Amino acid sequence: GAGEMKDGATGGPPKWTRPAPSLPTDASLYAGPFPFYRRPSELGCFSLDSERRYHGDSRALRYFAPPPAHGSAPDFDLREGYPERYRPRDEETQEGLDHLLRWLLEHRGQLEGGPGWLAGAVVTWRGHLTKLLTTPYELREGWQLAASRLQGTLYLSEVETPAARAQRLAHPPFLRELMYMGYKFEQYMCADTPGGSPDPSGEVNTNVAFCSVLRSQLGTHPLLFSGEVDCTDPKAPSTQPPACYVELKTSKEMHSPGQWRSFYRHKLLKWWAQSFLPGVPRVVAGFRDPEGSVRSLRTFPTMEMFELIRADREGWNPSVCMNFCAAFLSFAQSTVTQDDPRLVHLFSWEPGGPVTVSIHHDAPYAFLPTWYVDAVTQ
């Protein structure tokens, strides 16, 4: 683009310098028709076990086992077992894209889309894309995404911001318990076998994860991403993933229209973005009372969430989310021009400002592991 005129304080001739590239995030700039988004298809999956070891199969997949629909109201004590039966994942271990890269290394020879498909794609976690989708509406938490290009493919890996790290280390005990409660809800709602019954007597170990690997495309950007899936519904109309997957959430019970409004404006946006990306068709929410017991369940079909906020002038719009994400991917693709796994373009965003870029070499920002780089470059 055109340069910016810089007037030297010492006088003399004006110098033309290139403005630092940045991307605005104002929602008003991204209104307009919903962009092309290819129906997500599952390419494969992997599991992480109770010691966070990788397995190239679905052993960690659980089965949706809700209480009978016409029975009595649920009464799931989400605090039960805390803290003695809680095995939280070590969050100091920054895994970056490692598990996804391991899957990719083992499957890159059999990818659909034809030769060269991967070279034109963006590879990342679903959770990173969720943050991009919600950016035009986010007022509190910024993010940083590290980007590197290798053999054409653009890899995006989140970097914990200093503010997020400080917040995590200062987590008050009640927040740790609240995190536990989310996982405990999964234990009340899932069985280990299709048609089995939940067993809430065991440990809650958040090292365990089942991850789906998906292919999609946003606008002109082919995508390969992976996301953690809570469970599959053996009774779903379609048993074909991702249509059989169910996302589980907990939230506070609501009592007034104002509380529902606020829930639709803020939480439902995040739930929609997270499940829409991989094509997970429904979110089942458990609403907990002040004592931490789930007293009611409600299913939110992903494709119906926007209806709940459409009439709200201060609500969110899926088109804005997707158009912004597409604009970010174009911005990243045109910013990262060099193919070099040791070069990192760090995209940073804080609420109220634009996305900015800084350039780094090697540690601590480089995130593509040598075992991966060496294997794909031979």
Question: Which of 65/246 has CB closer to ligand 0WD?
Answer: 246
Q: Which stretch in 36-44, 139-147, 189-197, 226-234 sits in contact with Ca ion by CB under 5 A?
A: 226-234
Is 37 in contact with 218 (CB distance < 8 Å)? yes
- Number of C-beta neighbours around residue 32 at 10 A: 10
| Residue 198 identity | P
By CB under 6 A, is residue 212 in contact with ligand 0WD? no
Q: Nearest approach, Cβ of 230 to Ca ion (angstroms)?
A: 5
Interface residues for ligand 0WD in 36-75 (CB under 6 A)?
A: none
Residue 233 binds ligand 0WD, judged by CB under 6 A = no
Q: CA of 132: how far to CAs of 143, 246, 270, in Å?
A: 9, 22, 11
For residue 331, how many C-alpha atoms fall within 13 Å in the half-sphere facing its CB?
A: 22
What is each CA distance from 350 to 59, 167, 270, in whole angstroms?
Answer: 39, 15, 18
| Residue 346 φ/ψ, nearest 5 degrees | -100, 115
d(CA 300, CA 44): 26
Which residue in 20, 21, 17 sits closest to 4, CA to CA?
A: 17
Bridge partner residues of 26 (DSSP)? none
* Pairing relationship of beta strands 76-77 and 63-64 according to DSSP bridges: unpaired
Report, in Å, the least distance between residue 191 CB and Ca ion. Answer: 16
What is the closest distance, in whole angstroms, from the C-beta atom of residue 205 to Ca ion in the complex? 15
Spatial contact of 219 and 36, defined as CB atoms under 8 Å apart: yes
Which region among 17-25, 92-100, 107-115, 357-365 touches ligand 0WD (by CB under 6 A)? 92-100
Using CB under 6 A, which of 29, 54, 58, 89 touches ligand 0WD?
Answer: 89
Torsions phi, psi of 293, nearest 5? -110, 135
The minimum distance between CB 211 and ligand 0WD, in angstroms, equals: 6
Establish if 60 lies at the interface with Ca ion (CB under 5 A): no
Closest CB to ligand 0WD among residues 22, 79: 79
Of residues 10 through 39, those in contact with ligand 0WD by CB under 6 A are none
Binding segment for ligand 0WD (CB under 6 A), chosen from 76-84, 86-94, 191-199, 311-319, is: 86-94
Residues that bind Ca ion (CB under 5 A): 230, 248
Residues that bind ligand 0WD (CB under 6 A): 89, 91, 94-96, 125-127, 130, 158, 182, 206, 209, 211, 227-228, 249, 274
